[in-house]
């Protein structure tokens, strides 16, 4: 059981929460809802979704896959961008995601044992004005009480950066937080394709270039909505999110035991997203002639890679692109810790 401090790269996306530590990584859907009594099989369901029953001052919650499988769609809460009251709504949601992540990472704690943390997190490029409030919300002491753990998290430091900058740190720093000598590019771009936003970031020899960075609303969710519209019209019922994601990945849907080919529908549905990304890249980077390398990250990276590479051939799709930002956040947290030791 962990007794020392823990550095954590935490990417609280609009579709999924990605967590990376020096020892492990995990991902779960970024969704929650007020808990309901189980109708049947409580023990089996709890065992299948450990750490996803959370208690806080606002009540009892189902989080992640447990929420998706046990709650009706109308009761699910998600982040979808800026809220009317970011502190009370958006950041309160992010705290629940942090607590769930810790519950999954550190099962078995009891009696409020203490864990000391350093966090590195991100926000969409155009939402960085919300960074001070997010930092204030996450820093400090948090009681984590779930079906899997009972601990007190003491967050001593929170680093908030533009979301896709994590991808740059994932390449420019090593797994131990050292400067990566193999990353020799001067001007590095990132296209981060998320669930509800697409973010661009440009780094010029270690300096974030705000004028050539930005966000556009409507990521992979816009594609899923179009595919869902077609399937729901043809089959006259709502399609569960997990099945829709499968259609997006494979182009196939099993209806009444018969597999139907929807690859043409998926391709048509992807075109607006690909166009939006290329328009944003053109607006910020023009032809891309001055950008040495472009890293493509985020869960939607494979869906748009061909279109992006056709106009920007210096594009590289990172391995496990969904974890690229969280991986970079962790490496930056380790880098700052090393720098502090050298002072």
Taking only the tens place, the pLDDT of each residue in 54-111 is 999 999 999 999 999 999 989 999 987 655 555 667 899 999 999 999 999 999 998 9
Structure tokens at 108: 């078995």
Higher pLDDT, 85 or 244: 244
Computed over every residue of the chain, the mean pLDDT equals 94
Quickly state the pLDDT bin for 241 (edges 50, 70, 90): confident
Q: What distance in Å separates the CA atoms of residue 151 and residue 256, rounded to the nearest whole number?
A: 46
Q: Which pLDDT score is estimated for 1?
A: 42
Of 323, 284, 313, residue with least CA distance to 171: 323
Residues with Cβ within 8 Å of residue 201, at least 6 apart in sequence? 125, 162, 163, 164, 165, 167, 168, 189, 190, 192, 208, 213
Q: How far is CA 190 from the centre of its chain?
A: 15
Residues with Cβ within 8 Å of residue 333, at least 6 apart in sequence? 7, 8, 9, 118, 119, 120, 159, 177
* Half-sphere exposure (Cβ direction) of 302: Cα atoms closer than 13 Å: 8
Quickly state the pLDDT bin for 2 (edges 50, 70, 90): very low
Q: Which pLDDT score is estimated for 80?
A: 72
Write the burial class of residue 336 (CB in 10 Å: 0-12 exposed, 13-18 middle, 19+ buried).
Answer: middle
Taking only the tens place, the pLDDT of each residue in 181-219 is 999 999 999 999 999 889 999 999 999 999 999 999 889
Q: Which residue reads 């050539």 in tokens?
A: 212
Asked if residue 52 has pLDDT above 80, the reply is yes
Cα dihedral 205→299→232→229 (10° resolution): 10
Asked if residue 4 has pLDDT above 70, the reply is no
Q: Which pLDDT score is estimated for 82?
A: 54
Q: Which pLDDT score is estimated for 83?
A: 53
Whether the CB-CB separation of 199 and 192 falls below 8 Å is answered with: yes
Q: Which pLDDT score is estimated for 127?
A: 86
DSSP three-state, residue 303: helix
Q: Which pLDDT score is estimated for 218?
A: 84
Quickly state the pLDDT bin for 149 (edges 50, 70, 90): very high
Asked if residue 9 has pLDDT above 80, the reply is yes
Instruction: Read off the pLDDT of each residue in 304-333 and give the average, rounded to a whole number.
Output: 97
Q: What distance in Å separates the CA atoms of residue 244 and residue 242, rounded to the nearest whole number?
A: 5
Q: Which pLDDT score is estimated for 88?
A: 61
In the sheet that holds 140-146, the strands lie side by side as 25-29, 16-20, 6-12, 113-123, 150-162, 140-146, 53-56, 59-63, 32-34
């Amino acid at each position: 059981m962990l007794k020392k401090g823990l550095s954590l790269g935490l990417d609280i996306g609009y579709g999924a929460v990605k967590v990376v530590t020096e020892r492990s990584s995990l991902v779960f859907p970024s969704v929650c809802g007020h808990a309901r009594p189980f109708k049947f099989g409580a023990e089996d369901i709890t065992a299948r979704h450990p750490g996803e029953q959370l208690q806080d001052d606002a009540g009892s919650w189902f989080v992640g896959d447990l929420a998706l499988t046990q709650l009706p769609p109308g009761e699910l809460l998600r982040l979808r961008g800026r809220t009317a009251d970011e502190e009370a709504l958006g950041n309160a949601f992010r705290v629940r995601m942090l607590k769930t992540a810790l519950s999954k990472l550190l099962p078995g704690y009891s009696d409020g044992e203490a864990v000391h943390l350093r966090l590195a997190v991100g926000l969409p490029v155009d939402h960085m004005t919300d960074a001070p409030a997010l930092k204030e919300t996450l820093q400090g002491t948090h009681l984590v009480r779930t079906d899997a753990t009972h601990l007190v998290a003491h967050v001593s430091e929170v680093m908030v950066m533009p979301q896709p900058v994590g991808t740059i740190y994932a390449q420019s720093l090593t797994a131990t937080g050292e400067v990566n000598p193999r990353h020799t590019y001067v001007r590095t771009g990132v296209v981060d394709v998320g669930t509800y936003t697409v973010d661009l970031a440009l780094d010029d020899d270690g300096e974030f270039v705000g004028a050539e960075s930005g966000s556009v609303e409507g990521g992979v969710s816009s594609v899923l909505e179009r595919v869902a519209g077609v399937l729901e019209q043809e089959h006259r019922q709502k399609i569960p999110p997990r099945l829709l994601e499968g259609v997006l990945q494979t182009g196939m849907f099993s209806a009444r035991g018969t597999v139907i080919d929807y690859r043409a529908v998926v391709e048509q549905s992807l075109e607006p997203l690909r166009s939006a990304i290329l328009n944003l890249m053109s607006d910020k980077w023009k032809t891309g002639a001055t950008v040495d390398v472009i890293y493509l990250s985020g869960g939607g990276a494979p869906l748009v890679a061909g279109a992006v590479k056709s106009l920007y051939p210096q594009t590289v799709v990172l391995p496990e692109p969904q974890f690229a930002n969280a991986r970079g956040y962790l490496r930056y947290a380790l880098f700052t810790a090393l720098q502090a030791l050298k002072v």
